[in-house]
Structure 1
Amino acid sequence: MLALVGEPVDPSERSITLSREQQAGLALAFERTMGRAPTDAELDARIGQWVREEVLYREALRLGLDRGDPVVRRRLASKMDELASAEVETAAVSDDVLSRWLQDHPGRFAEGERFTFSHSYYPDEDALHSALDGDGREEGFPISLPPRMDGASYEEVKAVFGSKFAARIARMKPTRSAQLQSGFGWHLVDLEERTRGRARPLGDMRERVEADWRSSTAAARREKAFDLLHKAYTVDIE
């Protein structure tokens, strides 16, 4: 497991330092998810969460709780996925690339498109998987978000759940129990209905097209990286 800046963590070290660079990384992560910069209060909350996790993480390492733990195993696998797609998250993207993306996926960006869905909220991926495995709260956790949106526009979904969540739901067909991430955590989403509209020019919706391009390209990079790693292993399922 690596710290925020990629350095190994010494569990015996009792001094914790959050550098300016790391704070900027927390702010950038918030902005990528929510589509805007965090307020001072929101950044303070993220910093507090990071410190809490770092303290508990080091204590867990000191006690050897990382060895043979399926939750840690799942998290490390998730970190490898993140590393595979990190370049896409920060790369500059040209209008030509986004124009081709819009032409190839017009149905994702239709004007007047509406979404009807409900969701259950989970604070992190482990809580979500525990619920899916039948070991956690299947009904989700309380949060100050609407449990359901009826006939909501893309912008309305984005304003409530953030750009990353909105970009994902805009690519979905009506389905049950889709796993979507937002700036708040994870959600099991039942998309009941979507009403398609007419696509607008790139200049009117560049931010939305870019968010969709990044999300889709990152997912493709993760799968390609996994395929390359998988080929290096011999897997026997007895």
Structure 2
Amino acid sequence: MRLIHFLPLAVLVTGCSSLEEVGRLPDFTPVQISAETSAMLNPSLPQRIERQSPVDGASLWTASRQSLLGDRRAIERGDIMTVVIEIDDSAEFSNTSSRGRTGTETAGIPSLLGIPQRINESLPEGASMDELISTSGTSSSSGNGSISRNEKLELMVAATIVDVLPNGVLHIQGSQEVRVNFEIRELLVEGYVRPEDISRQNEITYDKIASARISYGGRGQIMQMQQPRYGQQIADIVLPF
């Protein structure tokens, strides 16, 4: 009973929150509260700076990241790298099954010491012990199923190292939001990468990200029109039929 009284209130609250967005552009997610910004504001402990001789300091071949030919790939907490997403997957499955069975059974007692003939005299007209039992049955079933899927996605997004695991694996997170008219397109990337998989261009492809989580979608007026209304969603959950 409490649930029944609570449902109208929940629908009213969600409806009012949607009415507040009428005629307004969808808001961006605040950047200040993201894990990426936190990693940049709280970087890892600074590395010990070794003293260099005047000759080494002026050389172009030093191994430091600040040198002209130094390795500038992301490696520490707060560093930024580029994630290249190029998904071109297709799958097609087709299954067909068919089964059939036919059976016939007939049983009778035409003669047994004259007993069937005596019984036939007392049976109704048309009944006889010669055809005591006769059964037949037929069953058949068939099924067809097919799955066809084709996905293609080409995107690039900057991701930030939010944590460095004890084994050196990098935990990265990246987000991107683009607003066009009253619709926001969102791209979210998260996962774990090895430093040696990062290219010299400071890029990494999605297939080298462990536990990759890639989300590509949007929110706004078009997305709201594609979603069922709150009442319909509640009805789909509550109604048993």
TM-score (ref. length: structure 2) = 0.20
TM-score (ref. length: structure 1) = 0.20
Larger Rg: 2
Task: Return the structure number with greater relative CO, CA threshold 8 A, min gap 6.
Answer: 1
Larger fraction in helix: 1
